[in-house]
Amino acid sequence: MNINLITVGKLKEGYLRDACAEYVKRLGAYCRIKITELQESRLSDNPSEKEIAAALDNEGKAILSAAAGSAIIAMCIEGRQMSSEKFSSTLDRMGVEGKSSVSIIIGSSFGLSENVKKAAEIRMSMSEMTFPHQLARVMILEQLYRAMSISNGGKYHK
């Protein structure tokens, strides 16, 4: 399976980049993983709703272009939560259905455009809790690794 983790914005902290690199290395045994970092729209210090909507629309166009030809999983607050086992079986099902390319989308701190959400096959949420936006990438990579380990009978998931 080819997995493209599409993110808006770059990781700023070295320790987060190191954690991502470790999971990318581990995932290499199970899939082809690519991380696509897209430019975050610049906003004023106190952006209006209209300014935020325009930024999300611009980011959405870039996201959909980067995800072209793949099944889309959009990470969004109103998405459904699922267990690690369910995420694993969902990825397995996608593969069986012939979806060999999957894009997992992490938007900016303001979220995702409605166009991206509409294009998504699955809308997923990590938790009802609030986490630092920068941590989302590490969490998704860890869950991808856990899902692949579950599918392949590995011992990582207990």
Gap between the Cα atoms of 17 and 13, Å rounded: 6
Neighbours of 69 (CB within 10 A): 8
Return the domain boundaries, the chain. 2-151
Gap between the Cα atoms of 138 and 144, Å rounded: 10
Q: Which two tokens stand for residue 29?
A: 């045994």
Contact 73, 127 (CB under 8 A): no
pLDDT tens per residue across span 124-154 = 999 988 888 889 999 999 999 999 999 999 8
> What is the CATH topology of the domain spanning 2-151?
Alpha/beta knot (3.40.1280)
Percentage of the chain beyond pLDDT 90 is 88
pLDDT tens per residue across span 23-40 = 999 999 999 999 999 999
pTM, rounded to two decimals: 0.93
